[in-house]
Amino acid sequence: MNTIKKIGESLKRAGMLETTPLCVYFQDEIPEDAVSMGSVDTCAAKAILTAAIDKNTPALYLGHDCLKGFCMGGITWLGFSKKISPHIKYFVSTGHEDFRSGDAEYLKASPEIFEKFKESIGHITLPKKYLIVKPCDDFSEDELLADLNDEHDGNNPLVRSFLCFGNGQQIRNLCSLIHFRTANPFESIIGPFGPACATMITYPAHLAEKTPQNSAFIGPVDPTGNYYFPQDFMALGIPLNMAIGMCKDLGDSFAFKRPEVAYPKIREDFLEFKRE
């Protein structure tokens, strides 16, 4: 049977990841030994990235009782607030004189386009009281996915998705494994607009009402996080059902049967060759 630890090991093996795959789940109680996300960083995306890179980072949780000082964008995008400033549509697009002296991010061409974007994702809803992000390596061998996916008991964790970080080759291989059984090549992996925490949590965990059901999410595509997000890194948020499929397919796929192609030991320095 699938376990969280086994799925994490499969994802790590498929991408030859140097970072730790993370499990994203929800429950009504704070796990033992978990720390609040804000104690690691007030930006959800930075705290989550830290959990994947630094093996000393414990499970992270976020709830209504530990939001003080946390990024307002993250609070909204992760479903802890239904309120959004009426000026955000201007700040994300062209700016407004009544908000931050007209400062703007210029991520959208107009406030109207941002409004349509908001409508396209629908309401963001938390399935339980706490969001928890925990390294797959930290789960025990006998924690079965079936037990963790019990939606009826408020105290039991509800697993929604997995999250991987890696360089270009590593994420390419994970994406290729997703496509091992796809018939339609255009819907299984998408890079939607939104903040980094949406790529990592909101979309793959299906917190947003209108999230596509059978898609993984690659990104982030938000340049405002470029000051901390490693230049050669990408994130891949994988819904639960897709992660299970990847785990099952790993042994039959290119990752096992053609490892010399997936992870070449001899590489051509293409860019250097072209410069000469």
List the chain domain ranges.
4-82+123-275
Identify each DSSP E strand in 167-220 by its residue range.
189-190, 216-219
Q: How confident is the prediction along the chain (276 residues), in pLDDT tens digits per residue? A: 578 999 999 999 999 999 999 999 999 999 999 999 999 999 999 999 999 999 999 999 999 999 999 999 999 999 999 888 788 899 999 998 887 788 899 999 999 999 999 999 999 999 999 999 999 999 988 776 655 565 555 566 799 999 999 999 999 999 999 999 999 999 999 999 999 999 999 999 999 999 998 999 999 999 999 999 999 999 999 999 999 999 999 999 999 999 999 999 988 777 665 555
Whether 170 contacts 57, CB under 8 Å:
no
Burial group, residue 241, by CB count within 10 angstroms (0-12, 13-18, 19+): exposed
Distances (CA, A) of 97 to 101, 105, 113, 162: 5, 14, 19, 41
Whether 247 contacts 10, CB under 8 Å:
yes
The Cα–Cα gap between 267 and 276 comes to 17
Reported pTM: 0.93
